[in-house]
Amino acid sequence: MSHYIPENLPASIQHFIDGQFVDSVGGETFDVLDPVSNESYVQAAAGQKADIDLAVAAAKRAFDSGPWPRMLPRQRSRILHTVADLIEARDQRLAELETFDTGLPITQALGQAQRAAENFRFFADLIVAQSDDTYKVPGRQVNYVNRKPIGVAGLITPWNTPFMLESWKLAPALATGNTVVLKPAEFTPLSASLWAEIFREAGVPDGVFNLVNGLGEEAGDALVKHPDVPLISFTGESRTGQIIFGNAAPFLKGLSMELGGKSPAVVFADADLEAALDATVFGVFSLNGERCTAGSRVLVERSIYDDFVARYAARAKAIVVGDPHDPKTEVGALVHPEHYEKVMSYVEIGKTEARLVAGGGRPDGLPTGNYVAPTVFADVSPDARIFQEEIFGPVVAITPFDSDEEALELANNTRYGLAAYIWTNNLKRAHNFSQQVEAGMVWLNSNNVRDLRTPFGGVKASGLGHEGGYRSIDFYTDQQAVHITLNEAHSPRFGTGGR
Ligand code: NAD
User: Residue by residue, what is the 3-state secondary structure of 262-284?
Assistant: CCEEEECCCCCHHHHHHHHHHHH
Q: Is the pLDDT of residue 245 over 90?
A: yes
From atom 20 of ligand 1, which residue's Cα is the shortest distance away? 220
Q: pLDDT value at position 2?
A: 66
Inter-residue contact 185 to 162 (CB < 8 Å): yes
Catalytic positions are 258, 292
421 - beta bridge partners?
A: 265, 443
Ligand 1 in reach of 236 Cβ (< 6 A): yes
Q: pLDDT value at position 363?
A: 97
pLDDT in tens, 429-487: 999 999 999 999 999 999 999 999 999 999 999 999 999 999 999 999 999 999 999 99
Q: How far apart are CA 406 and CA 483, in angstroms?
A: 53
Q: pLDDT value at position 489?
A: 84
Q: pLDDT value at position 432?
A: 98
**How remote is the CA of residue 493 from the centroid of ligand 1, in Å?**
56
Inter-residue contact 320 to 347 (CB < 8 Å): no
Q: How far apart are CA 448 and CA 446, in angstroms?
A: 7
From atom 15 of ligand 1, which residue's Cα is the shortest distance away? 216
Left, alpha or beta for 492 (phi > 0: left; psi -120 to 50: alpha)? beta
Ligand 1 in reach of 218 Cβ (< 6 A): no
Determine the 3-state secondary structure of 136 from DSSP.
strand
Which stretch of DSSP H or E encloses residue 484?
strand 477-485
Mutate to test the pocket of ligand 1, among 237, 258, 391, 456 (most ligand atoms within 8 A of CB): 237
Q: How far apart are CA 488 and CA 323, in angstroms?
A: 75
C-alpha 336 chain-centroid distance: 18
Q: Where would I find the beta strands (DSSP E) of 120-213?
A: 134-137, 141-149, 152-156, 179-183, 209-211
From atom 14 of ligand 1, which residue's Cα is the shortest distance away? 216
pLDDT band with cut points at 50, 70 and 90 for residue 1: low
What structural domains and CATH numbers belong to the chain? 15-258+469-482 (3.40.605.10), 264-444 (3.40.309.10)
**Strands of 179-183's sheet, edge to edge?**
20-22, 15-17, 209-211, 179-183, 152-156, 231-235, 254-258, 463-464
C-alpha 471 chain-centroid distance: 15
Residue 164 burial class via C-beta count within 10 angstroms: exposed 0-12, middle 13-18, buried 19 and up: buried
Determine the 3-state secondary structure of 488 from DSSP.
coil
Inter-residue contact 207 to 255 (CB < 8 Å): no
**How remote is the CA of residue 374 from the centroid of ligand 1, in Å?**
23
Atom of ligand 1 nearest to the CA of 456: 40
DSSP label at residue 2: -
From atom 13 of ligand 1, which residue's Cα is the shortest distance away? 216
Inter-residue contact 312 to 280 (CB < 8 Å): yes
Q: How far apart are CA 33 and CA 24, in angstroms?
A: 20
pLDDT averaged over the chain?
Answer: 97
Ligand 1 in reach of 261 Cβ (< 6 A): yes
pLDDT more than 90, % of the chain: 98
Q: How far apart are CA 246 and CA 264, in angstroms?
A: 29
Q: pLDDT value at position 101?
A: 97
Q: How far apart are CA 87 and CA 26, in angstroms?
A: 33
CA angle 357, 363, 367 (to 5 degrees): 155
Ligand 1 in reach of 292 Cβ (< 6 A): yes
**How remote is the CA of residue 489 from the centroid of ligand 1, in Å?**
52
Ligand 1 in reach of 216 Cβ (< 6 A): yes
Report H helices in 319-449: 337-353, 385-388, 404-411, 427-436
Q: How far apart are CA 165 and CA 119, in angstroms?
A: 10
**How remote is the CA of residue 432 from the centroid of ligand 1, in Å?**
33
Ligand 1 in reach of 441 Cβ (< 6 A): no
pLDDT in tens, 135-186: 999 999 999 999 999 999 999 999 999 999 999 999 999 999 999 999 999 9
pTM: 0.98
pLDDT in tens, 301-314: 999 999 999 999 99
Q: Is the pLDDT of residue 275 over 80?
A: yes
**How remote is the CA of residue 160 from the centroid of ligand 1, in Å?**
9
**How remote is the CA of residue 288 from the centroid of ligand 1, in Å?**
17
Q: Where would I find the beta strands (DSSP E) of 97-168?
A: 134-137, 141-149, 152-156
pLDDT in tens, 94-135: 999 999 999 999 999 999 999 999 999 999 999 999 999 999
Alpha carbons within 13 angstroms on the beta-carbon side of residue 200 total 14
Q: How far apart are CA 275 and CA 447, in angstroms?
A: 10
Q: Is the pLDDT of residue 384 over 60?
A: yes
pLDDT in tens, 399-413: 999 999 999 999 999
Render the burial of 264-288: b for 16+ CB within 10 Å, e for the rest: bbbbbbebebeebbebbbbbbbbbb
